[in-house]
A = this chain, B = another copy of it.
Amino acid sequence: MKIALLGHGNVGSGVSNIIDKGNTQFTKQLEIKKILVKDSSEATDERMVFNIDDALDDDIDIVVECLGGLEFPFLCISKALNMKKHVVTSNKKVMATYYDEIVELAKKNGVNVIFEASVGGGIPVMSNIRHTRRVDEINDFIGIFNGTTNFILDKMFKEGESFDSVLVEAQKLGYAESDPSDDIDGHDVKYKCCLTGNMVWDTSLNLDDITTFGVRTVNQRDIYFGKRHQSTLKLVGRGIKKEGHVQVFVLPEYITNNDTLAHVHSNLNCVEFKSENLGVASYIGQGAGKFPTAHAVVQDIVSLLNNEDLEINKDNDVKINNEEYMSKFYVRTKNLEYFKEYIHKEIDSDVIITEPMDLFKLKDLIEKTDDKNMFVAGVSL
């Protein structure tokens, strides 16, 4: 199989490393013919080209997109599909944003688009969804989909450091971007939940319907509250199947220490699926990183090499309705007066546990308080 590799950063260079080595009977059958980089200043290899049209010559079977970003990768993926080349991508943002367009373009051109590396990095999330669904219906999923925030929360929990100082450390270690908004505001998890839900329920979820809360304002008092209640604060993404609709949202939650998710350390990810016969199946591993993510990309290429059935079905009309999701919430704000009718328990002068309420009500009240430093999290106490 002849491959054009778009991008040669962290993940892209890992992909070329694994394929060029050719350590297994499968990777031996792969060949990277072209590598798209920005310009000649990045060229370290005679396969490197600087223009997408130079990368997509007739000889190429598979286009592997590891560019990062949104519009340019979408353009490249569309071009490749229209030239009837299979596409493998690690780009959750592109896939979640343009799911319908990309999947339909692949179908129209009789080729496949696959994106194992886009969710859970090195954890085989997508292939285990496909595998499980051969026998079982998956109803619900829950996961720690973002290694950066898990690293931050875990370090805050274990070492008592402040959010800001751990964020700086995560940036130094290369876990967090210089602009960490996508991670700490929950958007990265939102993209991954969208793609996970699409695969689990054979549908195309509306990304904008995924209610999303982040951890940008979390502090040591919030972390400590969990400790005192045998729980650990985690940023989780959830999908819950209901009669006639689903609930999909991203929310910091206090997870009881009896739960596998509470013990997902450092920058690891964990994705759990609940299905009819299997019960709960949990997968824990590296959610990002050069070689784990590159491994997942190469797995997708091998799946294409093996001619597996990779067609995506998105025909199920599944609507997200988060209005029904009820939980108690931990709320820390200097403007508690807006919550005074909804107090289940007072914790401190600026911290309460609410009566059970739905996510929309919570969002309403948050807007009213107009407190940029407030912090909220789901709690099952």
Contacts and interface: CB of A to CB of B under 8 A. Distances in A.
Nearest to A305: B134
A188 interface: no
A260 B261 CA distance: 10
A73 interface: no
Contacts of A258: 265
B292 A135 contact: no
A41 interface: no
A349 interface: no
A109 interface: no
A255 to B, nearest CB: 11
Given A24-B134, A24-B136, 11 more contacts: A18-B277, A24-B135, A24-B137, A128-B128, A135-B298, A277-B294, A278-B285, A278-B292, A278-B295, A283-B284, A284-B284
A356 to B, nearest CB: 26
A278 B284 contact: no
A123 interface: yes
Nearest to A23: B137
A22 B279 CA distance: 18
A27 B135 CA distance: 6
Nearest to A303: B134
A226 interface: no
A131 B127 contact: yes
Copies of this chain, whole number: 2
Interface in A258-305: 258, 260, 262-265, 276-286, 289, 291-292, 294-295, 298-299, 302
Interface string A125-142: 001100111111100000
Interface in A111-130: 122-124, 127-128
A379 B285 CA distance: 25
A277 B263 contact: no
A294 B135 CA distance: 10
A284 B282 CA distance: 5
Interface of A: 14, 18, 23-24, 26-27, 122-124, 127-128, 131-137, 258, 260, 262-265, 276-286, 289, 291-292, 294-295, 298-299, 302
Contacts of A132: 124
Contacts of A262: 263
Nearest to A26: B134
* Most chain B CB atoms below 10 A, which of A128, A264, A265, A283: A283
A277 B291 contact: yes
Contact of A281 (B14, B131, B281, B284): B284
A292 B136 CA distance: 10
B285 A280 contact: yes
Contacts of A302: 134-135
A277 B262 CA distance: 26
Contact of A292 (B277, B283, B285): B277
